[in-house]
Chain A
Amino acid sequence: MSIFCLGVNHKTAPVEVRERLAFPERSVPGSLDEIRSIEGIDEAVVLSTCNRVEIYGAGTELDQLADQVSDYLLAHFGIEPGQVEFYRHTAEDAAHHLFEVASGLDSMVLGETEIFGQVKKAYATAQEKGATARRLNKLFQQSFRIGKLVRSSTRIQQGATSVGAVAVDLAETIFGHLGDCRVMIVGAGEMSRTTAQSLLSRGARSIIVSNRSHDRAEDLAAELGGSALRFDEWEDALHEVDIVISSTSAPHAVIRSETIERAMPRRKGLSLLLIDIAVPRDIEDEVDRIPNVYLYNIDNLQEIADEGRNRREKQIAVCREVIRVALEDRGIEALSEPEGQRKKKDERARAGAPNQSTAAEGRPLTNP
């Protein structure tokens, strides 16, 4: 196998190291030229995201090439040797690694979909630059096919895995598209902020922030593009919002069931989602008995997120099996052979001679 992969990711390097190795988008074409100028490297693709920086290359003497790429990266980014430990994969391990990356199996959020687009973009940039040829073209196109297959035939993408994502899922389960949804934050804590950001990123219409410290409310409202409300006024606005995120530091319940009962008739049949992220809880549990009101506390959200993560993790073996079967069906042997030896094989086949494998040609990718 004449392909290698060298890089760092969120598992092997902290963000302080990864950010030093990140390629600015506009510099990638130039870097591809520099990498390909290393003797022995015929093809290259640079994959640089917030959670990984990887160089895929094709050539001969893979271990030596990986060393040279490692030296190039250290020199290019001005990093001292020993400050970063790169992982490296060669031959079919490199192919498997790329397939798992494209399928979201190697992502910080298991099964996330953004990486697929990022891999496609990295490949497109390299292809436009003429930095890819037969081996990497085949490898990456195979990775896209396998990535799509894994996502469509398994449940690797199903289930929210973070508190914010769970909140968004719940909101969409109640309201559908969030474009008409108004959100109120009571208590400007960090968790409230991230949850509200998740909702905004999915199209929530507006945010109102109410906090004991009005200055803090105004700061957070400005950050989120919303408006601030004095803490003694949030009850009056309750009937106008669809989602309430509560995260105060009060030692007692701030939102009582009678407050919600007063607001609900004014909502004219519309549902209300209450997300209580505070410990101790801000919202009385009796609120959940009110029809058309849905109350979730931090434990509920975390449980759902954990379940989502567990479900996805159970899918890892299924995804790997899908990858294995897909490779068996297609026959990945074409990627296993260095170009020169493949040509020799073709010539022998034309001449009617039997194929002969040597150690230099690499192992078949799958067991016979």
Chain B
Amino acid sequence: MGLLYLAVSTAFFLGGFLFALAMLRSGQRRPAANFAVMGAGFLFQCLFLSERGDLHGRCPITNGPEVLIFIGWSLVIMYFVVGKAFRLSLLGLFTAPIVFSFQLLALAWLALSDPGARPPDSMDPWLEMHAATSLLAYGAFGLAAVAGLMYFAQDRQLKSRKPGRLSRHLPPIRYLIDALVRLLVVGQILITIGIASAFFMEQRPSALHFGASGAVWLIYLILLLVQRFRPLVPRTLSGSAVVAFVIAVVTLFAL
């Protein structure tokens, strides 16, 4: 059933993206419908992760595909929290294709070779805490990158001096940058908790793992400190958020 849940979830995110695109083209706004489609995708994500959690007897982030799906799941959680709080319309248009891509890759991966159950030798709550908060942090960083991409789209529209339909539907520049910064802060808090938890784990991660996680943590810390004391122009901040997230995801998989 797990792969079926994942397939249905993936289909909903593709549908969510296509729906948002169709609404954009027709000039209509249906934020409730958009939320509903993303909600359905999220529900089936939860069902998949729940089944995998039962299978492993622990938080289902035991292999590459599951990590991808968990990051997608945390992206969607952040979308629900941030989208409503900041009234960021069209976030679904940009978030859904990323989640769809992650899940499609994970689906293909699992369909080809599912490593199966990996129950832990022993339960370590600090391990669960480390893994879960770190990946939630990646969700926040991912959504910050999405806000950065939306900034680029809006900036390009405005610089063209002929802002079109997309511009009317994208959030204002200031809101995008505010949301981006808050997401970076949330992500940094979560990853700090995640790294701190690692020090209490029964079986500590390798030096390489610590180094990579620390590097990601440092990159985002530097970005936030620079933004706090020498605010960057939005273009630089947005580009940095996107690049930092790509680095973060690459290091995660390199580990």
Which residues of A are at the interface with B, using a C-beta cutoff of 8 A?
155, 158, 170, 172-176, 264, 268-271, 288, 291-292, 294-296, 300, 303-304, 307
Contacts and interface: CB of A to CB of B under 8 A. Distances in A.
A294 B154 CA distance: 12
Given A174-B158, A269-B231, 11 more contacts: A158-B27, A173-B158, A173-B172, A174-B172, A174-B174, A175-B173, A269-B233, A292-B234, A295-B161, A300-B162, A304-B163
User: Which one of B168, B173, B234 has the greatest number of beta carbons of chain A within 10 Å?
Assistant: B173
Nearest to B158: A294
Given A158-B168, A174-B158, A271 B173 contact: yes
B235 A271 contact: no
A173 B171 CA distance: 7
Contacts of A303: 162
A311 to B, nearest CB: 9
B227 to A, nearest CB: 8
Contacts of B234: 269, 271, 291-292
29 contacts: A155-B27, A158-B168, A172-B172, A173-B158, A173-B167, A173-B170, A173-B173, A174-B158, A175-B173, A175-B174, A176-B171, A176-B172, A176-B174, A264-B233, A269-B227, A269-B231, A269-B234, A269-B237, A270-B174, A271-B173, A271-B234, A288-B161, A291-B234, A291-B236, A292-B233, A294-B158, A296-B161, A304-B162, A304-B163
Contact of B233 (A170, A291, A295): A291
Contacts of A300: 161-162
A303 B164 CA distance: 12
Interface in B196-255: 227, 231-237
B175 interface: yes
A248 B44 CA distance: 61
Contacts of B231: 268-269
B109 to A, nearest CB: 40
Nearest to A155: B27
A170 B158 contact: yes
A270 B173 CA distance: 10
B120 to A, nearest CB: 46
User: Which one of A269, A295, A303 has the greatest number of beta carbons of chain B within 10 Å?
Assistant: A269
A170 B234 CA distance: 17
Contacts of A296: 161
Contacts of B237: 269
Contacts of A270: 174
Interface string B170-203: 1111110100000000000000000000000000
B161 A176 contact: no
B162 A294 contact: no
User: Which one of A172, A268, A303 has the greatest number of beta carbons of chain B within 10 Å?
Assistant: A268
Contacts of B235: 291-292
Given A155-B27, A269-B177, A173 B163 contact: yes
Contacts of A172: 172
A173 B236 CA distance: 19
Contacts of B227: 269
A268 B230 CA distance: 7
Contacts of A173: 154, 158, 163, 167-168, 170, 172-173
A173 B170 CA distance: 8
